[in-house]
Each structure stands twice: as structure tokens, then as C-alpha cells.
């Protein structure tokens, strides 16, 4: 069985297969209308969402399936202290596939360890958002015609922006990717992505705090919202919240075919005057999210009993009582899960669940 917890759970071939299927759905929508008849998707959303939850819902409905779940954990037995693992054991009795969003990092991973149906990570804290990544890849493919050989600028909150972390991981397996990281010091990309992904996979990257300087070389500009809900210190949020604003003046500095992506929601980092620019792809990106989730649901359901499509093999986790994960938002610090670790690049020990550096 295949779960999707991290973008690297899918091989590059599987990603390309899902994108190709999404393109076939676009061309022949009617062929797929009943493909999930009598199947149920559970959407377990412990954190707010508009696009991800409702695009999963719309995707399953378009495939002829049904949807159950909750969008507010206070209305579920999580409010009585039920663990994530117990909840997915229960939902596995009711549904054929589960999409889960959780503010605690590693929650979908521990869910997948006990689930008898495929688990899809619909976003865990600041960590990972692999279905947004599939959305972004399909959007790049449709906007530019190719994913290889692009220069992509990530702008804004690269520290807490889980969509950025996941997309860089996926792009690292494509050819000729150049990454420009545009962020203030406080919001720089976490080291584990720079070291374990960019440096390990040979992705060329550079850092700058000037969007004006970076924009002329970009094929894709990936804007992000500064994630107020992840800050522990409100003063720090106020200092950086308006770091970068994309407006018509800045768009005039960009290539004529540059695509502007944003996972949305936006706050004020893209002015509405940009919306009518043909390069503004972020609302087309939303529709791609539904199409690629249709392709993902079909694929994971087909792969459920296929030995060709299983989870990638990892080295066994390290268990050492002397080590502790210091991330307060990690599942091992919120539910009773044995702390586990892995040895990453440059001999750095990282948490198995959330990738934080272990001190």
C-alpha cells in the first residue's frame, strides 16, 4: 500500500504518472466520472483549510465517490483526547482512503503506521504539504510546458512555508533546477532543506533579500504568505509581515512568460492589480489542485494492492534515550510516541517525525 506523507514517498516516475493522469482527466473528464463509485474518502482536518479540503471533496465527488469527515476537531473525539492513531483506525472502518491535515508535525506519519487504508498528508504544521506540491508541479507543467530546466524564486516565508519545503524536495529530482530563495533573515529556508535536499541532490540555490534583484531571471515566482499562526512572538511577525509585496511595477521587471504561483490564501503579498496579468497563475493553480487530487485518489486506490507501488525503504530509525526532539509542535512531544531519529547529511541527527535538528 502507498501513503503520501512526504513528496519523496513518490518516485519521480510516480509523480510524472500522476501529472500525466491529471492531464488525461483534463482532456477526457467524462471517462473518469464513475471511477470512484461506491468508494469513500474521509477528510480529517484538524486545522483550517479552504482549498485543500474542498478540492479533495470536489475531486471525490467528480469521480462519483462520497466524502465524510470533520473540519473542526472540536466536533470530533479528538476533543476528548483520542489520539491520531486511534482516530485513523476508526476511520479505516468507514472509508477507503483518508486525507488528513494536522497542526502537529508528524501526525500523518504516525497515522500511516497503523492505517489499513492509504493516508494522504494534507499539510502537517510547517513541515510538509505534498498534495500542494503535486498541484504546483501540474501548474508549472501547464504554464511553461516543462518542469525541467527552470529557475524558480521562492519569496516570503520560507521558514514556516510547508509548501515551499515540499516543492523544493520534489523539484530536486528534476533536471536543471535553479532555486532563488528570497526572504528576510528571520524567514530563511530551514537548514534541513538546504543541506539534506539542495546540497545532497545538487540543486543550485542562492539566497537574497531583494525581490527586485531576483525577479528578472525567474521562470516561476512562487509567492508565499507570512504564516502568522506559526509565530510564537507577535512582534517578530509584525517586523516581517510586509517584507515583500508583488505589484505591477515589479511584474514589469519580470520575463514576459514568467508564471506567478501562490498556494493561497494571500493576505497582502500580491496586490489585486496583478490578478489580471496573464502571468498570474494562482487561480488556475487552484483548479489544478482539484484535478491533480482526482489523479492522486485514482492512483493510490489502484496501487493499494500493487507490489510495484509500495512505500520507499528507509534505514531503520535510531532509538536513543539520550536524544530529544526539541520541536514543541512535533507529534513525539504531543502524543506518546517513542522518540526516533535518523542520521542526515553532514552527520546531523534529525527527528524521524518532523526533521528538526536534534540538540
Least distance in Å: CB of 340 to ligand CP?
Answer: 27
Residues 122-161 that bind ligand CP (CB under 6 A): 123, 132
Among 51, 178, 255, 304, contact with ligand CP (rule: CB under 6 A): 51
Buried b (16+ CB within 10 A) or exposed e, 289-326: bbbbbbbbbbbbbebeeeeebeeeeeeeeeeeeeeebe
Residues 74-133 that bind ligand CP (CB under 6 A): 123, 132
Least distance in Å: CB of 259 to ligand CP?
Answer: 16
Least distance in Å: CB of 134 to ligand CP?
Answer: 12
Largest CA distance in the chain: 57
Contact 186, 152 (CB under 8 A): no
Residues 246-265 that bind ligand CP (CB under 6 A): 263-265
How far apart are the C-alpha atoms of 244 and 240, rounded to whole Å? Answer: 9
Of residues 48 and 216, the one with the C-beta less far from ligand CP: 48
Of residues 83 and 135, the one with the C-beta less far from ligand CP: 135
Rounded to 5 degrees, φ, ψ at 4 are: -125, 95
Which of 47-55, 70-78, 193-201, 274-282 is the region at the interface with ligand CP (rule: CB under 6 A)?
47-55
Among 11, 33, 50, 268, contact with ligand CP (rule: CB under 6 A): 50
Among 43, 49, 87, 333, contact with ligand CP (rule: CB under 6 A): 49
Rounded to 5 degrees, φ, ψ at 184 are: -70, 165
Least distance in Å: CB of 280 to ligand CP?
Answer: 16
Least distance in Å: CB of 290 to ligand CP?
Answer: 12
Least distance in Å: CB of 102 to ligand CP?
Answer: 13
Q: Total binding residues for ligand CP by CB under 6 A?
A: 9
212: its cell numbers: 527586485
**What is the contact mask toward ligand CP in residues 159 to 178, using x (rule: CB under 6 A)?**
--------------------
How far apart are the C-alpha atoms of 70 and 301, rounded to whole Å? Answer: 22
Burial class from Cβ neighbours inside 10 Å (0-12, 13-18, 19+) for residue 346 reads exposed
| C-alpha distances in Å from residue 9, one per residue of 4, 207, 220, 296 | 6, 28, 25, 13
Least distance in Å: CB of 166 to ligand CP?
Answer: 11
| C-alpha distances in Å from residue 98, one per residue of 15, 43, 124, 242, 320 | 19, 6, 14, 36, 32
48: its cell numbers: 483550517
Of residues 203 and 296, the one with the C-beta less far from ligand CP: 296
Per CB under 6 A, residues contacting ligand CP are 49-52, 123, 132, 263-265
Amino acid at each position: 500500500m502507498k501513503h503520501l506523507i512526504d513528496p519523496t514517498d513518490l518516485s519521480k516516475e510516480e509523480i510524472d504518472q500522476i501529472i500525466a493522469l491529471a492531464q488525461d482527466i483534463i482532456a477526457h473528464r467524462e471517462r473518469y466520472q464513475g471511477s470512484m463509485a461506491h468508494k469513500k474518502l474521509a477528510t480529517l482536518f484538524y486545522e483550517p483549510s479552504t482549498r485543500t479540503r474542498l478540492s479533495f471533496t470536489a475531486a471525490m465527488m467528480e469521480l462519483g465517490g462520497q466524502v465524510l469527515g470533520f473540519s473542526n476537531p472540536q466536533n470530533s473525539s479528538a476533543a476528548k483526547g483520542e489520539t491520531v492513531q486511534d482516530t485513523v483506525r476508526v476511520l479505516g472502518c468507514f472509508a477507503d482512503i483518508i486525507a488528513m491535515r494536522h497542526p502537529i508535525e508528524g501526525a500523518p506519519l504516525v497515522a500511516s503506521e497503523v492505517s489499513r487504508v492509504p493516508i494522504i498528508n494534507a499539510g502537517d504544521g510547517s513541515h510538509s504539504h505534498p498534495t500542494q506540491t503535486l498541484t504546483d508541479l501540474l501548474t508549472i507543467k501547464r504554464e511553461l510546458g516543462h518542469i525541467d530546466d527552470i529557475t524558480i524564486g521562492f519569496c516570503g516565508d520560507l521558514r514556516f512555508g510547508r509548501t515551499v519545503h515540499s516543492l523544493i524536495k520534489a523539484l530536486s529530482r528534476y533536471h536543471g533546477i535553479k532555486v532563488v530563495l528570497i526572504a528576510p533573515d528571520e524567514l530563511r529556508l530551514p537548514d534541513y532543506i538546504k543541506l539534506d535536499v539542495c546540497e545532497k541532490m545538487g540543486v543550485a540555490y542562492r539566497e537574497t533579500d531583494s525581490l527586485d534583484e531576483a525577479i528578472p531571471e525567474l521562470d516561476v515566482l512562487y509567492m508565499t504568505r507570512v504564516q502568522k499562526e506559526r509565530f510564537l512572538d507577535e512582534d517578530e511577525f509584525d517586523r516581517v509581515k510586509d517584507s515583500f509585496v508583488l505589484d505591477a511595477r515589479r511584474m514589469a521587471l519580470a520575463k514576459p512568460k514568467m508564471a506567478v504561483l501562490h498556494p493561497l490564501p494571500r493576505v497582502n503579498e500580491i496586490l489585486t492589480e496583478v490578478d489580471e496579468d496573464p502571468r498570474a497563475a494562482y487561480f488556475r493553480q487552484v483548479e489544478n489542485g482539484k484535478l491533480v487530487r482526482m489523479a492522486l485518489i485514482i492512483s493510490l486506490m489502484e496501487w493499494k494492492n500493487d507490489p510495484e507501488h509500495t512505500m520507499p525503504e528507509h534505514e531503520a530509525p535510531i532509538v536513543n534515550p539520550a536524544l530529544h526532539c526539541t520541536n514543541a509542535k512535533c507529534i513525539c512531544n504531543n502524543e506518546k510516541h517513542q522518540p526516533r531519529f535518523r542520521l542526515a547529511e553532514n552527520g546531523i541527527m534529525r527527528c524521524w517525525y518532523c526533521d528538526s535538528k536534534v540538540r
